[in-house]
Amino acid sequence: MTDLAAFNISAFPAGQQNLRLVTGIPAAASAGATPDSDTAAADDDSETDSETDTDADSLLPALPIPLLGGLLPPPSPPPSPPPASPPPYLPWTNASTVLQLRFPPHSANPAALPVGGAEFYAAPLAPALAQAHTAALRYSVFFPADFAWVKAGKLPGLYGGRAACSGGDRATDCFSTRIMWRGGGEGELYLYAPKDRQTASLCADPRSVCDAAYGFSVGRGAFAFRAGGWTTLVQTVRLNTPGRQDGGFVLEVDGRVVIRREDVFYRDGPPGAASSGAGRRAPSRAQRRTFFGGHGAAYETPREQYVWFKDFALVVDG
């Protein structure tokens, strides 16, 4: 693969200069890493309760074996019943192509200077994705063994409705489901969705922090990213019945379900909206947005840093 054409990028607001396709990862990035071990504990403002659900998710058929930039269509027809787990990934060797992302020294979010990380919107499988009721996005991310986590940073996810469903947006007509790291490498779902329409239990969970000004941190500390190794993430979004709090979100990390919600409100709509298409607000694109932040000096990376991505794959229900 020599370009990002498979992503079908619809917009590239920031950081294009920080993205490169490269062969392999420097040996120093794995130096000192302990195989199959979690990263260090998070900083003081991160919660650490971690009750998990180990049942395999069955919302979607198995994800296809990915190529680096391959956002591949589902099998036709999908298997029935769905397999309990996806097929194996392509074998990793250091001769493989990966997507490298650079964070310049003292950079934070792409809206600030220097521009850190990158942001683009991808529309693979269009128009099927825009009509989907359920979608799953998979990728693997590699953080170096000496990665400085600072306070927090964002990773790719799905979104529905209009773009820019982030940065303090009220999310009354959109949603986004990005993944976030916190200090020490703790992970969470970072959810933007109509804030005044969520269940009380979503924010009552001791692992969740519902910020009135920004997004909802769901399941903070439910898992940890590996430093010096690959972490594979699969997020599945199932839209709610318009007007009801019955939407689904499942996050699998390295094959283990770590976050599962069945009470998310993604969209509203009048009676009959489900059949007419009104108020669908489907997961219309993948939001590939990765940077340090938050905002401000406390979130800036102290030095130049890199992360790498592979195994991109996408499945929709059609």
Residue 55 lies in a domain: yes
- Reduced to 3 states, what is the DSSP secondary structure of residue 174? strand
Q: How confident is the model at residue 213 (pLDDT cuts 50, 70, 90)?
A: confident
Please, where are the H alpha helices in the chain? 200-204, 273-276
Residue 153 lies in a domain: yes
What is the structure's pLDDT at 123? 78
Distance from the first to the final alpha carbon of the chain: 27
CATH number (domain holding residue 121): 2.60.120.200
What is the structure's pLDDT at 90? 63
Residue 20 lies in a domain: yes
Counting beta carbons within 10 angstroms of the beta carbon of residue 55, is it exposed (0 to 12), middle (13 to 18) or buried (19 or more)?
Answer: exposed
Nearest to 121 by CA among 15, 3, 276: 15
CA atoms within 13 A on the CB side of 187: 27
pLDDT in tens, 168-191: 566 667 889 999 999 999 999 999
What is the structure's pLDDT at 286? 67
**Mean pLDDT calculated for residue range 124-141:** 86
Rounded CA separation 225/243 (Å): 35
Rounded CA separation 174/180 (Å): 19
Q: How confident is the model at residue 62 (pLDDT cuts 50, 70, 90)?
A: low
Close Cβ partners of 203 (under 8 Å, ≥ 6 residues apart): 210, 216
Number of structural domains the chain divides into: 1
List 186's β-bridge partners, or say none: 224
Residue 14 lies in a domain: yes
Residue 201 lies in a domain: yes
What is the structure's pLDDT at 114? 92
What is the chain's mean pLDDT, rounded? 77
Residue 36 lies in a domain: no
Domain that holds residue 179: 5-31+43-271+279-316
Residue 53 lies in a domain: yes
What is the structure's pLDDT at 257? 97
**Mean pLDDT calculated for residue range 281-296:** 65
Residue 123 lies in a domain: yes
